[in-house]
Amino acid sequence: DTGVSQDPRHKITKRGQNVTFRCDPISEHNRLYWYRQTLGQGPEFLTYFQNEAQLEKSRLLSDRFSAERPKGSFSTLEIQRTEQGDSAMYLCASRPQGAGDTQYFGPGTRLTVL
Amino acid sequence: GEDVEQSLFLSVREGDSSVINCTYTDSSSTYLYWYKQEPGAGLQLLTYIFSNMDMKQDQRLTVLLNKKDKHLSLRIADTQTGDSAIYFCAESMGGGYQKVTFGTGTKLQVIP
């Protein structure tokens, strides 16, 4: 499978715990995005990487959230001190270099905070 | 800021055509997209249209863009039960990092 993969697919955690999600983009794609999707809503942009550089962060990304892409390949999204309001689907997408190319989404990680 | 709006629900009979509508506010939108999301799955890009186009057809899918009214529609011909899903309209300005702004989605129910 050469698509975007995410791990884990589901995560249940207790409030206050830290969680980390991983995204593996399509191998030749240098641009990587994280989105959050809550029930009944469309995805909302969280952050963007070009290679290893994090170039844009949404105001939705509070200081409890941190994302990395250390070698410009896979990326991790960590949420510290989780809150019930963090419960959502976290989607990763990747895109190759060049204008006009679209984003390819992974299956998402569904987070439930109890 | 950008805003994308869609109706929440559409029900059609199998074999009929479905038309899903979307309005957006950002006149500088360069790309307009339609994504499909099935239950428990990620987003699948169906088609996209550049803002300098009026129409794009791809097999059973027809996208119409009225840039003056900032209105986008997706027509699915001969709708099948497998088309039941949530359809998201989305836009981006292109260039740079191309952040995509999504609508809230339209749930399409196909009745056999």
pLDDT computed for residue B59 by the predictor: 94
B/e letters for B25-62, b = 16+ CB within 10 Å, e = fewer, are eeeebbbbbbbbbeeeebbebbbbbebeeeeeeeeeeb
Note whether B95 contacts A104, CB cutoff 8 Å.
Answer: no
Q: pLDDT-derived band of residue B11, with 50, 70 and 90 as boundaries?
A: very high
A-chain residues within 8 Å CB-CB of B105? 40-42
pLDDT computed for residue B60 by the predictor: 96
pLDDT digits (tens, 9 = 90+) for A48-90: 999 999 988 888 888 999 999 998 899 999 999 999 999 999 9
Q: At A102, phi and psi to the nearest 5?
A: -95, 175
Note whether B33 contacts A100, CB cutoff 8 Å.
Answer: no
- Best residue in B98, B104, B107 for a mutation probing chain A (most A CBs within 10 Å): B98
Q: Give contacts of B 40-99 with A, CB under 8 A.
A: 41-45, 48, 50, 88, 90, 94-95, 97-99
**A94 vs A103: CA distance, rounded Å:** 5
Q: pLDDT-derived band of residue A10, with 50, 70 and 90 as boundaries?
A: very high
pLDDT computed for residue A99 by the predictor: 55
For A17, the token pair is 């715990």
Q: Is the peptide bond before A96 cis (omega within 30 degrees of 0)?
A: no
pLDDT computed for residue B39 by the predictor: 83
What separation in angstroms does the CA of B41 have from each of A1, A9, A91? 16, 10, 10
For A76, the token pair is 């991790």
Which among B43, B95, B103 is the nearest to A105, CB-wise? Answer: B43
Closest Cα partner for B64 from B49, B77, B80, B79? B49
Question: Strand A31-37 vs strand A44-50: parallel, antiparallel, or unpaired?
Answer: antiparallel
Note whether B45 contacts A102, CB cutoff 8 Å.
Answer: yes
Does the pLDDT of residue A1 top 60, yes or no?
A: no
